[in-house]
Amino acid sequence: MKTFSKAPGHDETSRQVSCAICGADDARRYWECDSFGFVRCTRCGHLYQNPQPDPDALIARYDGEYSDYEVENDRNFLNLMLKGLSDVDFFERMATLHARPSLLDIGCATGTLLEYAAGRGYEVQGVEVCEPAARYGIEHRSVPISVGTLDTVDLTPTKFASVHFSHVIEHLPDPRGFLLRVHRLMLPRALGIVVTPNTDGLQARLFKEQWRSAIADHVNLFSARNLTRLLSETGFTVLATKTWGGLGVGTAAKWLKRPVDLLAKRFGFGDVVLALFTPTSGAEFEADHS
């Protein structure tokens, strides 16, 4: 079963784009998915939609229906986020680095992670493009959320000790520009967390265009290698990468799913990839990919 996605509207406009990783215009058709498709860059192997919906058309998809999906699943999503943070000892690392911890959660949906971090003494701020989801978080969780994107909200002069964006970067037409803006919002020695579908994962290789993350709302799909490359080129040092999710629920018997999930996490072919990173100018750790 594919991840929730909004079908492209009949009046949406689109545009031809270059590879977001290396800038090349040489790509081959790779997956055909109903009314859209993915190409693979022949230079770096990056997988992306081409043509892509115009940015305003993408933003318009995040409406009340999308908000309902987020509200219905918000506790499950929080549990998954906390497991990922635990895998890289995020809160333990933060405790040794910053006496006054703060968290910016980009694509914070209904604000569950903000509420959790605030309960641990963090100063928190969210950014969410889906206005109904943001309003839900503001009203039901009493957390500060700015409605919009990093291009449209004004967070200055604040800088943050940590920045988190889970299942966001694959939705963005300009991930490089986004990461450069993230960099400007981070304190020295700040920690960043990005989570995104992994094109090198077992599920992507098995299911191809039927992969649950091959959806209309995902315009850039990353391998761990290309995600690390993009982070490095935008001023970050990657401290750790982790993957998890070997076989999706319902795709295999439980006796098979559990060992495959464990192997995927151990050997890096999980369905999603997490990268822990810090601004290069403030990096004081050695990369840890254990």
Q: What pLDDT does residue 287 have? A: 37
Q: Is residue 150 part of a domain?
A: yes
Q: Is the pLDDT of residue 285 over 50?
A: no
N residues, the chain: 290
Query: Structure tokens of 81?
Result: 């986020």
Does 136 map to a domain? yes
With CA atoms as reference, report the closest residue to 152 among 56, 230, 54: 56
Which parts of the chain fold into alpha helices (H)?
55-60, 64-87, 90-97, 112-119, 131-141, 175-184, 202-207, 224-233, 254-267
Cβ(19)–Cβ(226) below 8 Å: no
Domain count, the chain: 1
Confidence of residue 288 (pLDDT cuts 50, 70, 90): very low
Contact 149, 178 (CB under 8 A): no
SS3 of residue 246 by DSSP: coil
What is the CATH number for 220? 3.40.50.150
Is 152 within 8 Å of 158 (Cβ atoms)? no
**Within a domain: residue 120?**
yes
**Domain containing residue 26:** 14-282
Residue 154 falls inside a structural domain: yes
Domain presence at residue 32: yes
- Maximum Cα–Cα distance across the chain: 52
Residue 190: how many CB atoms within 10 A of its CB?
23
pLDDT tens, 35-71?
A: 899 999 999 999 999 999 999 999 999 999 999 999 9
Q: What is the mean pLDDT of the chain?
A: 94
Q: How does pLDDT run across 102-133, given as a tens digit for each residue?
A: 999 999 999 999 999 999 999 999 999 999 99
Q: Are the C-beta atoms of residues 189 and 97 closer than 8 Å to each other?
A: yes
Backbone CA torsion sign across 157, 70, 179, 54: negative
Q: What pLDDT score does 25 carry?
A: 96
pLDDT digits (tens, 9 = 90+) for 66-96: 999 999 999 999 999 999 999 999 999 999 9
Taking CA atoms, 20 is separated from 26, 32, 52, 173, 196, in Å, by 12, 20, 12, 8, 15
Measure the CA–CA gap between 172 and 92, rounded to whole angstroms.
30
User: 3 in a domain, yes or no?
Assistant: no
